[in-house]
Amino acid sequence: MKTMKLFFLMAPIFILFIGQVCKVQSAEPADKAAVQSGVKSEGKNIICGEVRDQTGKPISGVLILPEPEGGYPVKTDEAGKFELAGPSENRLIMSIFAREPNRNLAAAVELNDCNKPVHIILSEGVIFSGRVTDPQGKPIAGASASPVVDAKTYRAGFGYTVWKPTDSNGCYEIKTLPVGAEYGIDVWANGYGGDQIKIIADKPGRQQLKDIVLQPANLSVSGIVLDENLEPVPGVSVQASGEHQPYREVETDSKGKFKIDGVCNGRVSLQARPSDKVWKSHGDEANGGESDVELYITKLTGPGSCLIPAKNPPASLVGKKLLDLDDLNIYLVKKDIQGKRVLVCFWNIYHDKSRDCIRQLAARSEELARKNIVIVAAEFWPCNEKQFRRWLAKNNIKFPASILPDQWQQKPEQRTIDRWGMQNRVPWLILTDSRHIVTAEGFYLKELDEKIEKSVPKPAARKEAKGN
């Protein structure tokens, strides 16, 4: 029972895909006398239909699960018929999944019209079997192994109708899934992290899968939650998750400190979520085993809570001379950037992708310096100077970085970020050539190498620049 509760807390949303699609057909209205299993009518529509095997014989006791927001399953009656509550404002039903585990029969149908009866023909399903172990090959009993698959337009889940824990040998068996889908098997266990393998179910019958190895969750991560004035904040929920990581949640103590036990080695995503609605939550990443993590939360009111939009979008800087870096409170000796390309990053210390961008630039700073590229960073969100400097030092940020004057206290025409052409993307990157002409702006960090390649002046331009 404990393992099952943990599974429902930690496992990602289980997903349903229309594996072996049977098109919905028109027919006379079906008999609505069906056997339901805990379903309450939530909408005005009633979906009704029938289930048969490939010989045309009605099948009773088939589990019918509407997805992605269909609620509890219902069962077909003795005549193979069923009815269930249709979509409403709060519910979305795009397909119906039917399973008869005793005979390993399954199908999924696309729901095109809720007002027409649904005819489902079951055929032989897929059975996945495999084993879950620790890194030393020792079997893990009681692990949850559940099928997941992505549909094109939604994500949904099988829930308890499919899930079964692994036995004493770490073995699992997942029965009665439609053929034709690309599945993943999500596996989690108490005291361990999680993992997933992907399989294409291209034929019915049993498929033996490779072993799934789970890493032990025997580390902890601890730290403190601070406000923008670097004051500790008690009573804040801190959540830990991440790829291959179990989900954990604790609350900060009276001194704003937290400790999360039971995480794996590797990166852990942390999120500070205050219960008081005057605060805005923020997240960061740490490594399993870290003990000095600092998470920050900010007020929803006051500085930074609302930016007055400009009447017109900021003008692009591409093709123009880069503005003076003094405008960003970054003061460099002219010879330090003469003949070199400049990479400017506008970022927000409370923004996950911004922090990650700065860290990645720091990791590449020596490489970029060898390419004669100077990196500078301007933090544009209101933040505490001491907090800012502490974060830079902790993350070993050595290139010039500054905090801009409070952009939220200025009119649009006076704002630094507008003068520099920053638009609705964070972080905002600007790159120049060696003459400091802007060659690219607003691109993603993954595009940096491509933009660097294109920022090299053409031979004629280099000759002209040399002559000047």
Q: Do domains 219-299 and 325-467 have the same CATH topology?
A: no
Neighbours of 343 (CB within 10 A): 22
Among 220, 363, 357, 386, residue whose Cα is nearest residue 296: 386
Second CATH level (architecture) for the domain 219-299 = Sandwich (2.60)
What CATH number has the domain spanning 325-467? 3.40.30.10
Is there a contact between 409 and 398 (Cβ–Cβ < 8 Å)? no
Give the pLDDT confidence of 164-219 residue by residue, as tens digits: 799 999 999 988 888 877 788 889 999 999 998 888 888 999 999 999 999 999 99
* Among the four given CATH numbers 3.40.50.720, 2.30.31.70, 2.60.40.1120, 3.40.1360.10, the one describing domain 1-215: 2.60.40.1120
Please state the domain extents for the chain.
Answer: 1-215, 219-299, 325-467
What local confidence, expressed as pLDDT, does residue 43 receive? 43
Which residues of the chain register pLDDT less than 70?
A: 1-45, 68-71, 87-93, 149-161, 277-278, 300-312, 412, 457-468
Is there a contact between 241 and 193 (Cβ–Cβ < 8 Å)? no
Rounded Cα distance between 106 and 116, Å, is: 21
Give the pLDDT confidence of 88-140 residue by residue, as tens digits: 665 566 778 888 989 999 988 877 777 788 999 999 999 999 999 999 999 99
Among 159, 120, 209, residue whose Cα is nearest residue 16: 159
| SS3 state of residue 467 | helix
At a CB cut-off of 8 Å and minimum separation 6, what does 453 contact?
none
Rounded Cα distance between 90 and 268, Å, is: 34
What local confidence, expressed as pLDDT, does residue 152 receive? 61
Please report, to the nearest 10 degrees, the dihedral formed by the alpha carbons of residues 27, 33, 39, 45 taken in order. 40
Q: How far is CA 350 from CA 208, 388, 411, in A?
A: 46, 10, 23
